[in-house]
Structure 1
């Protein structure tokens, strides 16, 4: 992508920022960290960030000298910022493509005879609608509740492929703890009050102390579905890897739904997102609520020393949680934070050091979740914490597919369902920044 941006407010010359000069066109082949396209994308991102810093420094100098920034410089900064997002998106896509199996590639070797039999039977069911093999397998396993009305369980290799790709696309799933359950609900006990102890003199009385208090948290698995379609001609084509095709079709649909639910879901027919829980000022934090740190300015960062509130948010989290903590925000707020500097003039936001790494803020990785709200009065637009300890995702074992060749001729529909739940499991492990 080539971006033309004005560089001089006096002569209004245009500077050309070429973000594709070193990049070959995208191909369907997988790209790994050592691929030339990935290396070029990393260099492109680095050059874009250097141009961003130079332009933002010029903007800040203009504000200091004239009490207002030049319009052309503001426009140039906005365009470079958009180009920076584009470069990062391209790098993410190349990295993700490197993890995907090629369409039409040879099927992986299945060493387990039962798994191989299941895979072959499922492939025949998807291509031709022949379910006798799957019925025979389910009779052997004494399973119930499946069949033409309920669909059939996909092979474990396909299910694992879909869940792996969801972790790559869904930012909260990638950060959180994931549990696979066999029932419809996951329960765990948590301590809401520690045992009381104290020092005592040799001959002093020893009164009884309070015992620890336990509370039970419940995480039900809700149903998530997708219904991709394919022509019978595609299914008859022996070169097409049906497993990869099905995973490709459902991964994006599932990931988008999950990403939103894990952030803002209300817990009704979907997982409960961490922003749906009650909040309290972090100084008065109590179990069962998430602590917040206020910016002190409605809908924005404070005008003076805006980076200080981010430091306050970081140190609102206990040291044991900070070791594996991450920031979570959307790309628009990340664009605003890119302009912030510390007291020494260093930018708080830094680009990733490698293709498979995240950008960092104050040294902590940033997860980009589009479901996070924009900055507004009282909004909770930035989360920071150890999400592996703080948030739990539960997956009901099994991914079910029902083949429907009748409803949308000439297409064959594949009604695909999985059950997933989620919620906060440690309320002290996540802190929120309140813009108020």
Structure 2
């Protein structure tokens, strides 16, 4: 399978400014330097063994590639963030504007009467056991958009918003018997389908940003924007870990927490893996073969929407691999705001994926939109606390989210074991 090579960067990609375009040009230049240095390393290895200086140069450029990609992602994220509290707020309905004004008064000055009246009028559950009030829908949507940009597994998974505490999904473990029959032939009675149920409970995550009263009194400060920016990183970090390795106890269940089995013995309820044949590394002979085997372990119906998920350090190792024609399997992003590719499939960095080690499951490949489900319970709540950390005001912000594998045939793993 030949690797796809991205064209040189063109200025003005996607309407991004010169800062993003310049960073993208530097990324492409760094990748060309990396290929030259790695080709030199491989040539030395074939002749007499790799020179230490050359090996260090390859790793140095490899690290620079990672840093440049991270910079581009950060710049693109900033460019795509819409401003809250602008014209959308002015054209919103009366109830939304009223909620926004009441929430603003609560956050800035602790005036809760307006929110109490609105929640009573809406016949909501009111104040939760841990206190707090629901943020305006515009702020909740903005938090969700930012999490999708920051949380790698959420960005590629199926996301459902629920109003109950648990999302239950039935699935068919065995269907009715089917077969061919002649037009006038007798039809044998078919077996009934066997159904089972997957349950995805929504667990609570929290963040506690702090602000000075001076900041809150400043009318120029957009409270919605400030709150979304303060909680996004904390929520994304908690979600990122849970969706990969969470044990399902008080948090979502990550896809690596499920039982695994060699692909040849795969059964429903477990994730299948392909072994590299070498403990803790790719094999020295034909090192790209395990990746090819991993891709084709996935059925074609899932493979067309497949994505790789791995950590930054694992991607640094994959970046050195070539196909049988000497072409690099890894390619840089085609343009700012898009992921790099591996064998023409997108690569998503998840730092909670394990790095290469003996027996590690360091690479996942699959159609995560069909394979992994994220459930968000509607409503983000905020409790204002001006007492616990004077002179600062704390905002205990909670969100309920769950997750787990919904199709065990849609995700495959690469195990670095003999």
Q: Answer whether TM exceeds 0.5 for this pair.
A: yes
Higher relative contact order (CA 8 A, sep 6+): 2
CA deviations over 1:219-240 (Å, ceiling 9, x no partner): 0000000110000000000000
Q: Which residue of 2 aligns with 1:56?
A: 38
1:24 corresponds in structure 2 to none
Q: Helix, strand or coil: the match of 1:98? A: helix
Question: How far is the alpha carbon of 1:142 from its aligned partner?
Answer: 1.7
Q: 1:348 matched to which residue of 2?
A: 329
Partner of 2:369: 388
* Residues 394 and 422, structure 1, Cα contact 8 Å, conserved in 2: yes
**2:280 aligns to what SS in structure 1?**
coil
8 Å CA contact retained: 1:32, 1:38: no
Partner of 1:318: 299
Decide whether the 8 Å contact of 1:330 with 1:374 is kept in 2.
yes
Question: For 1:147-173, what per-residue CA distance to the aligned partner results, in whole angstroms no more than 9, with x for missing partners?
Answer: 795110000000000010000000000
RMSD of Structure 2 on Structure 1 (CA): 1.8
Residue from 399, 403, 407 that aligns with 1:422:
403
Q: Assess if the C-alpha contact under 8 Å between 1:184 and 1:221 holds in 2.
A: yes
What residue number does 2:4 align with? none
Structure 2 distance, partners of 1:167, 1:140, is 32
- State the shift of 1:213 in Å: 1.6
Cα distance in 1 for partners of 2:129, 2:285 equals: 64
Q: Against the structure 1 CA distance between its residues 385 and 216, is the aligned structure 2 distance closer, same or farther, given a 3 Å change threshold?
A: same
8 Å Cα contact 2:211-2:392 kept in structure 1: yes
Task: Note the C-alpha offset of 1:214.
Answer: 1.2
- Which 4+ residue blocks in structure 1 deviate beyond 4 angstroms? 102-107, 200-207
C-alpha contact (below 8 Å) 1:135/1:147 kept by paired residues: no
Structure 2 unaligned spans of 5+: 1-12
Report the counterpart of residue 27 of structure 2 in structure 1. Answer: 45
2:94 to 113, 128, 134: 113
1:154-169 aligned within 5 A: 154-169=135-150
Q: Answer whether contact 1:103 1:245 (CA < 8 A) is retained.
A: no
Please point out which of 97, 118, 129 is paired with 1:137: 118
1:7 is aligned to none
Give the TM-score normalised by the residue count of structure 2: 0.94
User: Equivalent residue for 1:263?
Assistant: 244
Matched, 1:222 2:164: no
* SS at 1:309 equivalent: helix
Gaps of 5+ in 1: 1-30
Paired residue total: 405
Question: Residue 379 of structure 1 is aligned with which of 360, 363, 373?
Answer: 360
Task: Assess if the C-alpha contact under 8 Å between 1:403 and 1:414 holds in 2.
Answer: yes
Q: Distance in 1 between matches of 2:108 and 2:222?
A: 11
Give the TM-score, by structure 1 length: 0.90
Contact kept, 8 Å, 1:186 with 1:394, in 2: the verdict is yes
